[in-house]
Amino acid sequence: MCNSTNLVVLSGYVGNVSEVRQTKTSGKDVLDFSLAVQPKPRRDKDGNWIDQEPLWVKVVCWNGTAEYAEERAESGKFVEVTGVLTHPEEYKSKKDKKHHARTVIHAQSLNFIDVVRKSAEDEGYEESTVYDDDF
């Protein structure tokens, strides 16, 4: 029998960010944020490019990763998340009152990437900061 692996890497833009809070049972720090992962555009039957709707994922950060995310995560920032996939989280939408499920990732490392442009002639370069934590 083969062993399976649960490791995902996603990159996208930070949406809503919660405050760091502590769990009631163990007192561990936890913070979560939404992540918009934009699928690549596709072509329609006429060959025109169509942007696809982003996939929204909940990212949960624990302990040191939570503290790091609290310092760096803000809406609109680009981040690469490495973590493990957990069971989908069910919730009831406030808008349409329907039940939905969302993908949840428990982050092991975060890499915030800032794209800096010097001028129109210069190419941008990426400056990143990485935090890696065992949760």
Written in H, E and C, the secondary structure of 82-119 is: EEEEEEEEEEECCCCCCEEEEEEEEEEEEEEEEEECCC
Of 54-58, 91-95, 117-121, the one with minimum mean pLDDT is 117-121
| Proportion of the chain above pLDDT 70, given as a percent | 84
| Domain annotation covers residue 17 | yes
| Domain annotation covers residue 2 | no
Q: What's 119's domain CATH number? A: 2.40.50.140
What pLDDT does 25 receive?
Answer: 92
- The reported pTM is 0.78
Q: What is the pLDDT of residues 59-104, one digit of tens each?
A: 999 999 999 999 999 999 999 999 999 999 888 878 888 888 889 9
* Domain encompassing residue 76: 8-40+48-132
| Number of domains present in the structure of the chain | 1
Element (H, E) at 43: strand 42-43
Element (H, E) at 35: strand 29-37
What pLDDT does 117 receive?
Answer: 47
Q: Give the mean pLDDT of the chain.
A: 86
Distances (CA, A) of 79 to 4, 115, 117: 26, 11, 18
